[in-house]
Amino acid sequence: MTTAPDKDRVWIFDTTLRDGEQSPGATMTHDEKLEIAELLDDMGVDIIEAGFPIASEGDFKAVSEIAERSRNSVICGLARANFKDIDRCAEAVKNAAQPRIHTFIGTSELHRAIPNLTKDEMAEKIHETVTHARNLVDNVQWSPMDATRTEWDYLCRVIEIAIKAGASTINIPDTVGYTAPMESADLIKRLIETVPGADDVIFATHCHNDLGMATANSLAAVAGGARQIECTINGLGERAGNTALEEVVMALKVRNDIMPWKTGIDTRKIMHISRRVATVSGFNVQFNKAIVGKNAFAHESGIHQDGMLKNKETFEIMRPEDVGLSGTSLPLGKHSGRAALRDKLGQLGFEVGDNQLKDLFVRFKELADRKKEVFDDDIIALMRSGEDAENDFLQIVSMKVVCGTGGPAEATVEMEIDGTDNSATMSGDGPVDAAFCAIRALYPTEAHLQLYQVHAVTEGTDAQATVSVRLEEDGIIATGESSNTDTVVASAKAYVNALNRLIVRRGKFGEGADAREISYKDIT
Q: Are strands 74-80 and 420-428 parallel, antiparallel or unpaired?
A: unpaired
Whether 411 and 401 have beta carbons less than 8 Å apart is answered as yes
Count the helices and strands in the chain (H runs, E runs). 17, 14
Measured distance CA(409)–CA(507) in Å, rounded: 35
Measured distance CA(8)–CA(237) in Å, rounded: 28
| Residue 206 annotated in ligand binding | yes
First vs last C-alpha separation in the chain: 22
Phi, psi values for residue 436, rounded to 5°: -65, -40
Measured distance CA(502)–CA(305) in Å, rounded: 45
SS (H, E, C) 160-206: HHHHHHCCCEEEEEECCCCCCHHHHHHHHHHHHHHCCCHHHCEEEEE
Contacts of 317 (CB under 8 A, 6+ apart): 254
Measured distance CA(423)–CA(427) in Å, rounded: 14
Whether 392 and 369 have beta carbons less than 8 Å apart is answered as no
Angle between helices 152-165 and 181-194 (to 10 degrees): 50
| Residue 19 annotated in ligand binding | yes
**CB count, 10 Å around CB of 398?**
11
Q: Give me the DSSP letters along 117-163.
A: --HHHHHHHHHHHHHHHHHH-S-EEEEEETGGGS-HHHHHHHHHHHH
Extended beta strands in 208-343, E state: 228-231
| Residue 299 annotated in ligand binding | no
| Residue 433 annotated in ligand binding | no
CA dihedral of 250, 256, 262, 266, whole degrees rounded to 10: 40
Among residues 305, 232, 206, the alpha carbon closest in space to that of 22 is found at: 232
Residues of the binding site: 19, 206, 208, 242
Residues of each annotated binding site for Mn(2+): 19, 206, 208, 242
